[in-house]
Chains A and B, each alone.
Chain A
Amino acid sequence: MLKSKTFVKKTRSGGIMKIVREHYLRDDIWCGSEVCTECKQEETVLQKDACIESNLCSFAHYLLPDTNIVLSQIDILEDPLIKNVIILQTVLQEVRHRSAPIYKRLKDILHDKEKHFYTFTNEHHRETYIEREQGESANDRNDRAIRISTKWYSDHLNNTPTDKRLKVVLLTNDRGNKEKAEESGLLTYRCEEYVKSLIANPELVDRLALTNDDKNEITSSKVLFPEHLPLSRIQSGIKSGTFQQGTFRASRDNYLEATVFVHGEGDDSTEVLIQGLQNLNRAVHQDLVAVEILPLDQWVAPSSVVLQDEGPKEDDVTEEEEAELKSGPSGAASRKPTGRVVGIIKRNWRPFCGMLFLSQIKEATRHLFTPADRRIPRIRIETRQAATLAGQRIMVAIDGWPKHSRYPNGHFVRSLGSAGDKETETEVLLLEHDVPHQDFSQAVLSFLPKMPWNITEEDMAVREDLRNLTVCSVDPPGCTDIDDALHCRDLPNGNQEVGVHIADVSHFIRPGNAMDLEAANRGTTVYLTGRRIDMVPELLSSNLCSLRSSVERLAFSCIWEINDKAEIVKTRFTKSVINSKASLTYAEAQMRIDDANMNDDTTKSLRGLNRLAKILKKRRIEKGALTLSSPEVRFHIDSETHDPIDLQTKELKETNSMVEEFMLLANISVAQKIYDEFSECALLRKHPAPPPSNYDILNKAAKSKDMVIHTDSAKALADSLDAAQVDGFPYFNTLLRILATRCMMQAVYFCSGMDSDFHHYGLASPIYTHFTSPIRRYSDIIVHRLLAVAIGADSTYPDLMDKHKQSALCNNLNYRHKMAQYAQRASVAYHTQLFFKSRGILNEEGFILFVRKNAIIVLIPKFGLEGTVFFENKDKPSPKLIFNEEAPSLTVEGHSFNMFDKVKVTISLDASNVQHQKIRMSLVEPVVRLLFQTQSLCNYRDPMVVNFHEVMN
């Protein structure tokens, strides 16, 4: 039967369009139940003995939730206990329309065979399709459709033999809908009612999202926050320019401060400062908000106070803190555009990891949850299993933030395991950094080559045979995913031939298949201390693609002819087959070069490479490439317990820079080639020059030692950093370089057709890309594909040539890279804690890296560890603090602290608080009367700590 659906909609250009869709009704849509004898279905989803033990429904029944239940209580539906649920098409469509993530979760449940969730296409069923009636809103129509379908199911199941008779329970929280359903004789419960009646799992109640009714009970009626404006007002405000739209970014150091990043036209974007609880107005980190810029006389400067929300306290206490906040520096120059949040355009809530902060009242069921991410506010949840959950890492979802509640309301989602457990902690940091780390799905694995795998005749025919070359690889110890190998040999004409051979991953990962999509989503391999989360399945990463010694491997080679002065005479690219003669570690390679007795081909090749690399490096530095510094640490992990047993800062050998030099050369050569060939869609990497204001901190620091740092160009910066030496303070230069690293911008991937500035500031190269690590970076796979097309070795595909799709891919890759870096740092931080746990208390020397209004930040070079030493304490009277913003210096009880001052601190693990274990740092030297350094935080997590290699290359 044919019906037509008609609706009118507004087009983007402002016109109004009538749209008519044909809608076919069928009579062959089955009910999906095992008991049904009428329906001629081949497979049934809903079980015969659909039994969820409940006080309310002692009989077998199917559940039929309405849209709002699915949207708000998806956590409940995901529980293994809840089975035999009918999801109507109406509900599915509405969910899809309103929330993409929940739709995806619902789809996952529907695909899970164990859950027995059935989709009933009621909109196409002849008996359950309804048309919207005059004067009926779309919501009312959908509610009616749900009721009609429930009724149909009840009647339909009534036709079965009595002994097997099943009932259908409609779950709805909508009062009107419930009444109407009861009128027509349907069995209806509110979700809370039903879940509370379940006998098998009382814990499920904790997962109930709090709905409007419940919120009222919890909080006092005192209104704490201004009302959010409705979306229509916000939109018209943005249009007229009274409001700005931007991403809300909470401050890590100060819970009463945040910035809103307003995306302007093109590169023109500004940051708006938000201060105080009222102005923050319930925005949560990463939300898309509308802000109103305050008048100029209310603008403030960002405070340099470090403030943390200290658990539950009376709401008015915060006012004092706010007063304190406001008394910050009022120099007109440092004032920033300040605003307040007037409304939320889109919440960006996800389940947050963290721990429960138990209520002092023993019997209480309401507790505060402290997220691991300091930028997320505490969340109030209701649970009856607080005692069990204490000491565990749990996930909590936010349900809402009413205007009279100090904290948002949420509900418990799941437990990750006990805190301090290495597995749990790793899980937490992977989740917190949005690192996809599930095992590869069957679909992905199905695209792996069949084992045993061999190089076929066809492969050999299209590839250059380089098996006879003396190729070797140099990597860190323990590396199993070797993606680059090198060779160097003398040519008859006196020049040298140098080859960089990169694993040919794009041969195995074909565009568009499940493995490719998964790799594109993951973007990068994530290296945690003691664990690696692969971008491609292990068979490829550690075996077929890895250029191990003495096996034949497919490679993508970049071969130069280089003269004696290390100038490139000729460059060519080819797909090849190689057979690496040796996989060396940096130390082994260094040893071979240094050992005069060794004169085999591999060693000769290495010496040739090393000689050329030195010339290349020198030339690069002359051109203005930066050598910055960052403290990097490496753990020695016990092979049995996987606990860190020693910690050392990474040491760079000559061979490290040898490999790096040739990788840079290959990357630059490839970048030029793909850009020449595809000027619109080459995937490149750029490193923008930082704005001059970024160097403020560096300039101030240098000034304190009577030095001047020139920052007008990369070359000037490099030269003045080289010149900056203080007698008797050898580490000063390194400290300065650490600071300089933090002034840098983040290097990013981009599509050449979407940008005009290609310059790589740090490497002083006009063009750059990533070609040399396709096993661990997806960007390199794309570059491989582009290069393969450029040399005619492979065919192209539409997405590769689409600059908008490329650009979207770049955004994902940039995001994944950033998150991977954060996850890596967090992992190091965690292992540092483990390390100090086993070491006990240590006294170490450190240097002051930054001076804040109420604290100093100390760097301990030996461990590459950074920590904050506070001079304030909530419980004791504050010491006399004088903060000089210009120097910057902080005078505590007569002793002044300046940048780069040497201090001695005691480091120990503060395990007293299970919630957040932290490394405690307290001042030993100079001795300040009244020591208030109560807490300090291990700061690897801080995004300010930027690793030089991560930023630049």
Chain B
Amino acid sequence: MATVQVSEAEKVYILHGVRDDLRVDGRGCEDYRHMEIETDMVSNTDGSAKVTLGHTDVLVGVKAEMGKPRPMVPDEGYLEFFVDCSANATPEFEGRGGDELGMELSNTLYKVFNNRYSVDLKSLCISPGEHCWVLYVDVLLLQCDGNLFDAISVAIKAALFNTKIPKVHISEDEEGGKEIELSDDPYDCMRLNVENVPCIVTLCKVGHRHVVDATLQEKACSVASLIISVTHKGTVTCVRKVGGGSLDPESIFEMTETGKRVGKALHAPLMALLQEEESLGKKRQKVGFLG
């Protein structure tokens, strides 16, 4: 992870600020930085979104491909994650530098998203045991300025919302031979229900308190953080602790409560925003990467 050097004096300054619910950039402990979302960015994916959080910049593309269902769950499709830590994001990612982080991120994403409670995997099934849709979720880190998990999760949710899977139907002849037919209307496509897709809220323990959406400086002051994935109803679906330090049970409880509250508050405007963007249709002025 990208790191910054923070002197002792700076640390004290940050710690004291957090204690008084006033962070270096003026936010409160439970506030996010400014966030920008745009969907349908990459035309040759089936769904895509770009999220900018502070200076953190993440692009997510979803591609649907046909595959064979996993033998244990023949009537479900599945998701595959790949996180590419571009060397553009930070020089440390050069060469194989980003691989470890990429692995860590994608492992977490599997845990959070690839289950039937988060995404309606049954709707991805084409014919049980034979064909299903496999959603390849590719995450590209364009710039790292802390709080990657939250930004990635929001981007994935937006990209899944944006995903249009071409409709196929299976025709069967007398002999039982199956043939996959593709509708010739490009508008004839399936959308995913993203209602239950969780968002990740990362809480950093700074001093005795915890903050959401930590900047790199705050992160340097923290010994441990908690990753909590929360659905729109406030249900916690996954909790992970990262960082070297330890957390006492009481603060874990407190942090989970905060996570639920913040997560719930994050979902509502996100969905509203996505729907608004969708309703604009083709008239929407695209910002793209240069905007």
Contacts and interface: CB of A to CB of B under 8 A. Distances in A.
Interface of A: 4, 6-10, 14-16, 18-20, 131-138, 232-233, 236-237, 239-240, 242
Contact of A16 (B44, B66, B179, B184): B66
A6 B177 contact: no
Nearest to A10: B182
Contact of A8 (B173, B186, B282): B186
Interface string B28-47: 00000000000000011110
Main secondary structure on A side of the interface with B: mixed
Q: Determine which residue in B63, B64, B168, B173 has the highest number of CB atoms from chain A within 10 A of its CB, and name it.
A: B173
B185 A137 contact: yes
B187 A134 contact: yes
Given A8-B166, A135-B187, A236-B173, A15 B182 contact: no
Contacts of B44: 18-20
A594 B188 CA distance: 88
A20 B186 contact: no
Contact of A239 (B66, B177, B282): B177
Contacts of A16: 64-66, 166, 168, 182
Given A7-B186, A135-B185, A236 B43 contact: no
Contact of A240 (B66, B173, B187): B173
Given A16-B182, A138-B184, A240-B173, A4 B66 contact: no
B2 interface: no
B179 A236 contact: yes
B175 interface: yes
A242 B171 CA distance: 17
Given A16-B66, A16-B182, A242 B175 contact: yes
Contacts of A6: 43, 186
22 contacts: A4-B43, A6-B43, A6-B186, A8-B166, A14-B180, A16-B66, A16-B182, A18-B44, A18-B45, A18-B46, A18-B63, A20-B43, A20-B44, A135-B187, A136-B185, A137-B184, A138-B184, A232-B171, A236-B177, A236-B179, A237-B173, A240-B177
B285 to A, nearest CB: 14
B42 to A, nearest CB: 9
Interface string B44-73: 111000000000000000011110000000
Nearest to B180: A14
A134 B45 CA distance: 19
Contacts, number: 52
A9 B182 contact: yes
Contact of A15 (B66, B177, B187): B66
Nearest to A232: B171
Nearest to B46: A18
A20 B184 CA distance: 15
Given A236-B173, A236-B179, A15 B65 contact: yes
Given A6-B186, A15-B65, 9 more contacts: A7-B186, A10-B180, A16-B168, A135-B185, A236-B171, A236-B175, A236-B179, A239-B177, A240-B177
B49 to A, nearest CB: 17
Given A20-B44, A134-B187, A14 B66 contact: yes
Interface residues of B, number: 22
For the complex of A and B, list the 8 residue pairs with the smallest distance between their C-beta atoms, beginning with the closest.
A236-B173, A134-B187, A20-B44, A240-B175, A8-B166, A20-B43, A10-B182, A4-B43
Contacts of A4: 43
Contacts of A131: 282
Contacts of B184: 137-138
A619 to B, nearest CB: 59
A9 B66 CA distance: 13
Interface in B161-207: 166, 168, 171, 173, 175, 177, 179-180, 182, 184-187
A292 to B, nearest CB: 13
A264 B43 CA distance: 43
Interface string B5-46: 000000000000000000000000000000000000001111
Contacts of A7: 186
A237 B179 CA distance: 12
A287 B65 CA distance: 38
A229 to B, nearest CB: 11
A134 to B, nearest CB: 4
A789 to B, nearest CB: 45
Contacts of B185: 135-137
A233 B171 CA distance: 11
Contacts of A18: 44-46, 63, 166
A10 B65 CA distance: 11
Contacts of B179: 236
A15 B133 CA distance: 10
A7 B177 CA distance: 27
A134 B183 CA distance: 13
A744 to B, nearest CB: 42
Q: Determine which residue in B184, B185, B187 has the highest number of CB atoms from chain A within 10 A of its CB, and name it.
A: B185
Nearest to A137: B185
A132 B173 CA distance: 32
Contacts of A240: 173, 175, 177
A6 B185 CA distance: 11
A131 B283 CA distance: 13
Contacts of B46: 18
Nearest to B131: A14
Contacts of B177: 236, 239-240
Contacts of B168: 16
A355 to B, nearest CB: 45
B39 to A, nearest CB: 15
Contacts of B182: 8-10, 16
A122 to B, nearest CB: 20
Contacts of B166: 8, 16, 18
B239 to A, nearest CB: 37
Contacts of A9: 182
A137 B179 CA distance: 22
Contacts of A138: 184
B194 to A, nearest CB: 20
Contacts of A8: 166, 182, 186
Contacts of A134: 187
Contacts of A236: 171, 173, 175, 177, 179
A131 B186 CA distance: 11
A468 B268 CA distance: 101
A230 to B, nearest CB: 12
Contacts of B175: 236, 240, 242
A200 B168 CA distance: 54
Contacts of B186: 6-8, 132
A14 B43 CA distance: 22
Nearest to B67: A15
Nearest to A8: B166
Nearest to A241: B175
B108 to A, nearest CB: 28
A11 to B, nearest CB: 10
A236 B172 CA distance: 9
B125 to A, nearest CB: 15
Nearest to A132: B186
Q: Determine which residue in A7, A236, A242 has the highest number of CB atoms from chain B within 10 A of its CB, and name it.
A: A236
A137 B185 CA distance: 6
Contacts of A20: 43-44
Contacts of B63: 18
Nearest to A135: B187
A888 B66 CA distance: 63
A133 B186 CA distance: 9
A232 B177 CA distance: 13
A133 B282 CA distance: 11
Nearest to A4: B43
A232 B172 CA distance: 11
Nearest to B187: A134
A10 B63 CA distance: 15
A918 B186 CA distance: 61
A330 to B, nearest CB: 33
Nearest to A239: B177
B278 to A, nearest CB: 13
